Structure 1
C-alpha cells in the first residue's frame, strides 16, 4: 500500500476518534493536558489495534490468501457503511461531564475496533505493518487533539459530517484495493 492510501486510510479510521474528541471537548472543561491525554489514548489504540488484527490475519492468511482483496474490500466497505449509518442514526453518545480515564479507555477501544479489521486486511495483503501503524497513530493523535479544541470552541456543527467523510474514505480505499486486484 502506498503512502497516500495509508494516509487516507488513517484519516478514515481517525474520524470516529475525532468525532468523540469533539464531543469530549463539548462536555469537558478541557485544557491542554486533557486534550493531550485524549489524543494519546485514541492515537495509541488506533496504532495498537491494527497490530493485533495483523497478527490475527497472519494466522488466517494461508487459508484465505486468494480471497484477500475481496476480504479487504468487504471489511472496508462494511466499516465505511457502518460509520455512515451511525452518523445518520441520530443516536447520541453517552458522554458525562467528568473526565474519567476508565471511560476514556472504553471509548479508545470502541473507536479503534475498525483499526483491528484494517490490521487483518494488511495481513491479507502482505502489507508491512510498521509504516501504517505509525501513520494511523500520528494522524489519530493529531486529529483527536484538534477535535477536543473544535468541540470546545465550535460545537456539534461538524460531528456527523466528519463521520460520513471517514466512511466514504474507507469505502473508496476498499474499491481501490478491489480494482487493483481485478485490473493490475
Structure 2
C-alpha cells in the first residue's frame, strides 16, 4: 500500500507543474511521455538504490531519509518559483520526471516493492497529468502550490518515519 500512495505523491508534483501550462497542444502525448518516464527513472533509481544497499548497508537508511527529506523540502520551496517558459514536450516530460529517479533510489535502498511503485507512479502520473493539462487548458484557476506542499510534506513525513524506524 505504501508504494501505491508514494506513486500518487510522486505524481502530485507533475500535477502542480502541469496546471501552470494552459497552452499545451499535445496533452495526451505529454501525459504519456511523463508517465513512461515516471516508470523508467524509478527502474534506474531502484537498481542504483539496491546496489547502494549492498555497498552502504549501515548508512542506507540514513541516506534514504536524507534524500526523501531533501526532495520534499525542495518541492515545498519550489512553490516560490513562478517562471513560465515554452519548453519542448520531451524536455518538459524529462524535467517533470527527474525527481522520481532520486525518490526511487531511496525506495530501492529501503527495499520496497519496485514494480508496484513503478506501475503506481506511471498510472497516477498519466491520469493526473492529463487531467491537470485539461484543467489548465480550460483556464480554471487551481493553485499548484497546495499540491506541491502536500507532496513535499508527505515525502518529508516518509523520510522522518523511515529514520525513526531505523533508530529503534
Question: Structure 1 length normalisation: TM-score?
Answer: 0.82
Kindly state the Cα deviation for residue 57 of structure 1 after the two structures are TM-superposed.
Answer: 2.1
Which residue is equivalent to 2:9?
12
Which residue is equivalent to 1:49?
41
Contact conserved, 1:58 with 1:123, CA < 8 A, in 2? yes
Which residue is equivalent to 2:59?
67
Output one character per residue of 1:38-66: Cα deviation in whole Å (capped at 9) or x when no partner.
21111111111011111222332222112
Kindly state the Cα deviation for residue 156 of structure 1 after the two structures are TM-superposed.
Answer: 4.3
In 1, Cα distance between equivalents of 2:30 and 2:159: 29
Which residue is equivalent to 1:128?
113
Which residue is equivalent to 1:22?
19
Q: Which residue, 114, 135, 138 being the options, matches 1:150?
A: 135
In 1, Cα distance between equivalents of 2:28 and 2:51: 35
Q: Which residue, 61, 66, 89 being the options, matches 1:104?
A: 89
Gaps of 5+ in 1: 97-102
Gaps of 5+ in 2: none
Give the 3 Å change call, closer, same or farther, for CA 72–91 of structure 1 in structure 2.
same
- Matched residue count: 168
In 2, Cα distance between equivalents of 1:81 and 1:47: 23
In 1, Cα distance between equivalents of 2:73 and 2:94: 19
Contact conserved, 2:4 with 2:120, CA < 8 A, in 1? yes
